[in-house]
Structure 1
Amino acid sequence: MSFTVYYSDPEVTSKAGFAKVANLPCIFDSRPGYHRLASAYLIDRGLGYWNPSTRGQAPALAPSDQTIKNYAQWLANFLEWAEVRNIDLKTCTYVDHVHGRYQKEMEKGTWSRDGRALKDGTVNPRVQQACDYLMWMSDKGHRPSFHIPTHTATIYAGTATSSIGHRAITVEVRDGKARKNKRALRLPSDAEVKEWLEKVYHLAGYAKGLMCELVLLSALRRSEAAGFRVDTLPEERAAWHLNDPSAPRANQRVRLEIKFGTKGPDYGYDHGDKIGPKRQIWIPLELAERIHAYRQKTRNVALKKWVKSAPTLTEQRRRIDDAVHLFLDEDTGERITGKALYNAWTAVELPYAGWSPHLGRDYWACSILWKEVTRHEEIKKLFETGSEIAQALLESTAMSIIRLQIQPQLGHANASTSMIYLEWICNMFGVNLSIDLDRGDENELPVHPTIEVNQ
């Protein structure tokens, strides 16, 4: 790309008096030179001064670092396309240019790196970012009004309190939006997971194997597992919060609070980790005990390697003070990053192509959902008798489990993100969903919901 996303050195930028924007990206054009309008747009978006919902009329929540980085990359792609195609951004329209040419060229593959048609999940956010930028230009007086035709659509959202489990909501949808294919879950069997995990432990080492198992048994994201601190699990067992100390050992869980690497707004950085919204999770007691044992023994051996490899005594002391992360590489003693976790996960023979830490989160969610649903004997009996209310009871029960147990553990801000699990459990029982659940699109135009039905 001749248009590139660039990050300055945060320390240098802060010392120059621009600390507020030190971590924000900017865009360089094909000259190369600083693209003033695009970079000003990213500052307004990154600081929450403008977004498509408020249009600058009210302060908005600033996006995360990863989100603003995505915005910058999508915008750079659109700006390069406009320059190559000689499109005037001050006069272009949605129908003739953004949708009529930019989107169509990506869908046909005439605007893609390898000449192949791009997926809807790539096309939609790029087009949406182009629309947002042109609306911003209009609001700032750099071009006339930019009109985006929309239509009203009805989607269904789940609710744990409804007797049916769903409610209809009307939203405004951009005309011409590429229809995303629904993600179909494919999960390995328990035996396949066990065989794969044993290979990870053997080839990648105990620490990385334990991290992979932590993802499987708690649904942590890669960044959250990599951000696990030495004291995320309290160092004193007496401080562990158990769900029910009197329950059988296999049913006991330990509650933890995480905030490093969590998805959502940024609240600063600590030792290389983004500080995000706090979230409480549960992990099995047996896993907590193995993490505790690793912390007391194996980790110390790795830490000694890391400290001893320092060239000076001052650096050794600094490394001791900075060793806040729980999981350390057994060969070098360095912290295990999210990328290193992914590499360990995928370096061995996989149960099937595409098995990843993200699907490990799905594996946890589906395991919990299946275990909880099948505990309800009345559901199984109704399906055995062919009762007409079996499907409605299944959906209602599953929705409650998703909303009350799975969604909080996964850290899904939008319930629609978890709806793929409802579809999965219905498939497992051999029935179709009674309604079509739209899982939403975080890059879509501002949603203005109107509840039509809630009964």
Structure 2
Amino acid sequence: MIDYGFKVVFPEPQFLKEAGFGKVARLPFIFDGEPGYARLPNQFLIDKGLGYWDPKWRGAKRNPLPPTRQSMKDYAYWLANALEWAKKRGGIDLMTADYTDVLINRYQDEMLKGIWSLNNTPLAPETINPRAQIALEYQMWAADKGLREPFLVPTVTSIYVAGSHNNSKSHEVKSVESRKGKVKVNKRTLVFPSDEQIAAWRMRVYAKPIVGKTEGLIADVILSTAIRREEASCWRVDTLPLDPKEWKIVNPDQPEEFQSVIVTVKYGAKGKEYAIDEHGDKLGPEGTIHVPIWLARRIDEYRNNDRLLALKPALRQGKTAEAQRRILKQMVHLFINPKTGKRYTGDQIYRFWTEANGPDHWSPHLGRDWWACTYLWERMKQHTELIQQVLKVPNMQKNNHPMLLALRDTVQTVIQLEIRPQLRHASAATSEIYLQWLFNQLRVPLNQTRRWAEMGVDESTEEERA
């Protein structure tokens, strides 16, 4: 029989519900190379997906908030990769394999060296660590179920200082335990395309026939609010209140160009999965974001005009006026593809974003980071005198000069109280890359001549920059 390898499959949820398997209707499954149902790997995925087992409680009690659908999809693909590797390496049995000798010294090592990769190139730590982790959890689950001998996982405890959600100068010492043998992940360094490259990419998106106006608006919403692509996909017609009189403008006394509307986001939000609604959208942690009022008006204009035209292909499916009304009632999402009459999915947003001949590595996620750094840069323009003093400090990155510390505190306050709530980062550490980005800009003031000039900052002398 042909060796198909291990594959992840996604059954039709309605079929499983009608067959009496509603609890697992949204879980992925793994088929082996026979092809056949991989019994033990799938039982592990079921227990994990339903909250019956997790690495923290080890089955002692049920996890009230099991992994999200996206997380379970990732777990299934990572586990299938580990199972495939084990099979290709002479039939290694993950149920009995040793953590150090097999998972670390062989599986992880082959990924690091590029031996176990599609193009024979070393894989990134962000790819390697989750694969090794899920293989380890599969072993831990097997031990807890009595399917293999118990074993100890070597761990290391790290201490770190966490910032407060509400105050950048309030800190708390925390500890975290992690397994030994993880590949060290280098801190992400942000590098963005030039403003000219982004502008040209945006014009190409808008220039696409039929769909350009809609997809351009989606791109503008992401770049102007820093929402995730899945949140853009799940954005409802009434996420921004239908009546402009009900818009909550947080700063009505400001000039209109600076005004913003508060909007609540929960559908498709990253984090815990509280429920799946009747339209298949995840209900995640609820958060509020600021939407520039000029963008709110564009959204309002789109839903009252172009969106109604985009719905025509879907409405044609209804043969009577009543059938069309039912279809229209089901179309709750804001962004509709005018070619199909259907909503945009997160994958479709990623596809049009990356296929518009954009700069290298330009993605919706990097668009979120771009918003954060652009906002930070604009806010720092209000502190030009402080920045000017910092630029005059010799070897500013190598000392604790009061001016440098004052700038750092100012930046951290903006990040924690303004940028982080908009991005809805769970961890303060995630937002630290923006602080590093700003100081990377300050490291090379010679390359920032035009920007400093725009901010009214005098250039320092050659001796001061030494």
Once the two structures are TM-superposed, the CA of residue 80 in structure 1 deviates from its matched residue by 2.2
- Corresponding residue of 1:442: none
Task: Provide the secondary structure at the position in 2 that maps to 1:374.
Answer: helix
Tell me which of 11, 15, 25 is aligned to 1:12.
15
Instruction: State yes or no: 1:357 paired with 2:364.
Output: yes
Aligned equivalents of 1:272, 1:212: Cα separation in 2: 23
Correspondence 1:68-87 to 2 at 5 A? 68-85=72-89, 86-87=91-92
Letter in 1 for 2:344: I
Letter in 2 for 1:211: I
Task: Provide the secondary structure at the position in 2 that maps to 1:429.
Answer: helix
The answer (yes or no) to whether the contact 2:168–2:417 under 8 Å persists in 1 is: no
Q: C-alpha deviations, 1:17-67, integer Å up to 9, x for none?
A: 222211112222223222222111111111122211121223322111010
Instruction: State yes or no: 1:402 paired with 2:415.
Output: yes
The answer (yes or no) to whether the contact 2:167–2:417 under 8 Å persists in 1 is: no
Once the two structures are TM-superposed, the CA of residue 314 in structure 1 deviates from its matched residue by 6.3
Instruction: State yes or no: 1:256 paired with 2:263.
Output: yes
- Corresponding residue of 1:375: 382
Specify every segment of 5 or more residues in structure 1 that has no aligned partner in the other structure, as ranges.
Answer: 432-455
Aligned equivalents of 2:312, 2:92: Cα separation in 1: 59
TM-score by length of 1: 0.87
Cα 1:192–1:88, aligned 2, differ >3 Å: closer, same or farther? closer
Task: Provide the secondary structure at the position in 2 that maps to 1:181.
Answer: coil
Which piece of structure 1 moves more, 154-163 or 203-212?
A: 154-163
Tell me which of 99, 119, 127 is aligned to 1:114.
119
- Corresponding residue of 1:238: 245
- Corresponding residue of 1:216: 223
The answer (yes or no) to whether the contact 1:205–1:330 under 8 Å persists in 2 is: no
- Corresponding residue of 1:422: 435
The answer (yes or no) to whether the contact 2:94–2:135 under 8 Å persists in 1 is: no
- Corresponding residue of 2:303: 295
Once the two structures are TM-superposed, the CA of residue 170 in structure 1 deviates from its matched residue by 4.1
The answer (yes or no) to whether the contact 1:226–1:338 under 8 Å persists in 2 is: yes
- Corresponding residue of 2:456: none
Aligned equivalents of 1:311, 1:111: Cα separation in 2: 54
Correspondence 1:35-434 to 2 at 5 A? 35-60=38-63, 61-85=65-89, 86-159=91-164, 161=167, 163=169, 169-203=174-208, 204-266=211-273, 267-308=275-316, 316-350=324-358, 352-377=359-384, 379-386=386-393, 388-430=401-443
Task: Provide the secondary structure at the position in 2 that maps to 1:24.
Answer: coil
Q: C-alpha deviations, 1:244-264, integer Å up to 9, x for none?
A: 111111110001112222112
Task: Provide the secondary structure at the position in 1 that maps to 2:262.
Answer: strand
Letter in 1 for 2:191: R
Q: C-alpha deviations, 1:161-190, integer Å up to 9, x for none?
A: 465x76664433322211223222111333
Aligned equivalents of 2:7, 2:348: Cα separation in 1: 27
The answer (yes or no) to whether the contact 2:125–2:183 under 8 Å persists in 1 is: yes
Cα 1:161–1:300, aligned 2, differ >3 Å: closer, same or farther? closer
Percent of aligned pairs sharing the same letter: 44
TM-score by length of 2: 0.85
The answer (yes or no) to whether the contact 1:382–1:389 under 8 Å persists in 2 is: no
Specify every segment of 5 or more residues in structure 2 that has no aligned partner in the other structure, as ranges.
Answer: 445-466
Task: Provide the secondary structure at the position in 1 that maps to 2:314.
Answer: helix
Which piece of structure 1 moves more, 405-414 or 107-116?
A: 107-116
Aligned equivalents of 1:79, 1:8: Cα separation in 2: 21
- Corresponding residue of 2:34: 31
The answer (yes or no) to whether the contact 2:287–2:424 under 8 Å persists in 1 is: yes
Aligned equivalents of 1:305, 1:152: Cα separation in 2: 57
Please provide the CA RMSD for this pair.
2.4
Tell me which of 2, 6, 15 is aligned to 1:3.
6
Tell me which of the two structures has the higher relative contact order, counting C-alpha pairs closer than 8 angstroms and 6 or more residues apart. 1
Task: Provide the secondary structure at the position in 1 that maps to 2:342.
Answer: coil
The answer (yes or no) to whether the contact 2:262–2:288 under 8 Å persists in 1 is: yes
Letter in 2 for 1:42: L
Once the two structures are TM-superposed, the CA of residue 201 in structure 1 deviates from its matched residue by 1.3
Cα 1:58–1:399, aligned 2, differ >3 Å: closer, same or farther? farther
Q: C-alpha deviations, 1:371-413, integer Å up to 9, x for none?
A: 2233235532431553811222222222222222222221222
